[in-house]
Structure 1
């Protein structure tokens, strides 16, 4: 009996230890959850849809719109519209670039125009932290290509063999008597200057190619170091051990029922927690945006499969041709804080209640009947200069904030400096004319408040009843 009790006790202890280990391990995994994924994309046609949008996913399959579903960057150069953004991180993580097609369909351009005489430029933004971006600039990539008529769908990949980027894109040009889209490439270190463009991918005959994206496979996976997927009448898969080396055709996705006439804009994503990839494809023919195709080995065509029904969700906005970045913990924290889904608000004047604060040609005033309505819409962000404060970011010019310059106000692009942050930061206090409303005290000139004077927004000290009324506003939807 004593031996039996000893054996039972040993079994009970072992069971408890096993149970304890399971209980302890699960919370540790949850607490150490990996950061997620960031997608840069556009959402559709028109001046609003053809801008830069961000979405986030914790698992790579279920996506949430950032910034309340609004654009995070707006092009103010070239055609003033952008599509097909590539999101590039430098090898040391100190720089980021977004490179996009300079194209605005249905807002001044038609498809025929953009194909036969489109922009030869790409639009580029740069950032040091993934959240504060430079103003955009134009990079002429197709001007040196004989009969080059446009520049579409840019991508870039770091080449360790030469310590620079291979920047590649599609241009419609005549070569050997055939006019069609081909992929060209150039080298760059900063996306401000490039080497002379060279032909990269040319399909036989009259077959054109517009979209292609390269993924690097880790050592020990697959046959090739690099795999590229291209939209060229099929979704063609090719492999190589060098970015600018010889590429071998692997196959295509017709075996799972997808052709280039149905999908475009291939976009790779590596799941960080397992040896699996998603190849996202834009279902442009059906007007549905992105869907994932899954594979455990990008270099083997037979491993690709369609996702199970209901296994993914793309969020509130349509996701179109872009790029996915696997975030670090620090990047995730910055992105989630900067592009939180802050409400869209207006600032209503207390003593002219039919008028709202708005920007017009980057000047700021109060007006009735604002059109377009977005000129009077702002996101009250956590203050750029300090906690417990607010900054006013424009909805239709993301990255632009209300900033005082002396006594005047303008809508200005955030240059990331301390001076800008302080000039664009305010303390929201009870309304000087009515405590149920709000007034906004300057962060770096605390004796002054936002007020209107002759309908222009000003920063001034407040002493009279009229001035208190002029400095009182309602934050409203």
Structure 2
């Protein structure tokens, strides 16, 4: 008993009560022309972001570019990364994993649209860990000419959202249609708002809209409600969503103005523009926000100086 009490006291003194280390927010990133690879931002408050120096993973698969890098952490602590590997021509996306965001597994090309010989592109794969089903969901946008009513978009730009699931990134479910909102849509992000309440934030890619909307479901895979009215202005892309206290922050690329904007919401129905309250490094492009131990971020800072 004395030994146990001594160990407990030592924990309190040396490790702050043996509690898990403090977490900070991290943001995956890339810079145009997208041939350098993965960059990372970090923040202690989810509002003000700093960039970690250097490139953490150089793309080697597909067309050897990296756009729209998306990270999700598995139950075992492994970080899984997927990314767009080409503007057009590829029938899949890139994948790699890491325990520390510095040392990465061998990169793989995941040909999720290999059975669609006419597919034009595979854009912005987005990872979501579905804790209810204990699997990863990967959603992306593809154009398959003449598959859907054309609307205002050209056949080679008429996107819909598709998905696959996996538990181990070795075996993937058959590719299926994820969401057809009745218009060309890209850049879909899934978040779990509460038990049995899932939100999809997506981009209406039709001209002249190109703005962000939301849809709701009781299951990560849907079916989702009709898309809402837009909650942003036009010429927006690349939404990234993070929970901060009892509010959700939605970051997005205001690409014509070459700035990052942000909205906050508690219910995904009423939104407040907080663009003037946030700061994002110049040149940052479409990524996802995730949590990491502060200790890890400090290690990354030291490695890149």
TM norm structure 2: 0.82
How far did residue 129 of structure 1 move?
3.3
For the 8 Å contact 2:21–2:294, the answer to whether it is kept is no
Partner of 1:231: 203
Work out which of the two has the higher radius of gyration on C-alpha atoms and give 1 or 2: 1
Q: After the TM superposition, which segments of 4 or more aligned residues of structure 1 sit over 3 Å from their partners?
A: 176-179, 339-343
1:322 corresponds in structure 2 to 287
Give the match for residue 71 of structure 2.
Answer: 87
In 1, are the aligned partners of 2:56 and 2:101 still within 8 Å (CA)?
no
Match of 1:39, SS state, is strand
Match for residue 10 of structure 2? none
**Superposition deviation, residue 34 in structure 1:** 4.2
State how far apart, in whole Å, the 2-side matches of 1:128 and 1:33 are. 16
Does the C-alpha gap of structure 1 residues 234 and 308 become closer, same or farther in structure 2, counting only changes over 3 Å?
A: closer
Q: Report the CA distance between 1:33 and its aligned residue.
A: 9.3
C-alpha distance in 1 between matches for 2:132 and 2:304: 44
Query: Structure 1 pair 308/99, CA: closer, same or farther in 2 (3 Å)?
Result: closer
Cα 1:96–1:308 change in 2 (3 A) is closer
2:21·2:295 contact (CA, 8 Å) conserved in 1?
no
* 8 A contact 1:262–1:283 mirrored in 2: yes
Total equivalences in the alignment? 276
CA distance, structure 2, for counterparts of residue 148 and residue 188 of structure 1: 22
Larger helix proportion of the pair? 1
Retained in 1: the 8 A contact 2:127–2:136?
yes
- Structure 2 residue aligned with 1:307: 274
Q: Normalised by the size of structure 1, how large is the TM-score?
A: 0.54
2:188 matched residue in structure 1: 212
Residue pair 1:139, 1:193 contacting (<8 A) in 2 also:
no
- Gap runs ≥5 in structure 2: 1-15, 205-209
Gaps of 5+ in 1: 1-27, 104-113, 344-477
Other-structure match for 1:349: none
The CA deviation string for residues 268-299 of structure 1, in whole angstroms up to 9 with x for no partner, is 0111xx201110111112222x322111223x
Identify the structure with bigger relative contact order (alpha carbons < 8 Å, sequence gap 6+).
2
The change in CA–CA distance for 1:33 and 1:168 in structure 2 (over 3 A counts) is: closer
Maintained 8 Å contact 1:234/1:252: no
> 2:42 maps to what in 1?
56
CA distance in 1, matches of 2:255, 2:223: 30
Task: Find the aligned partners of 2:55 and 2:300 in 1 and give their Cα distance.
Answer: 13
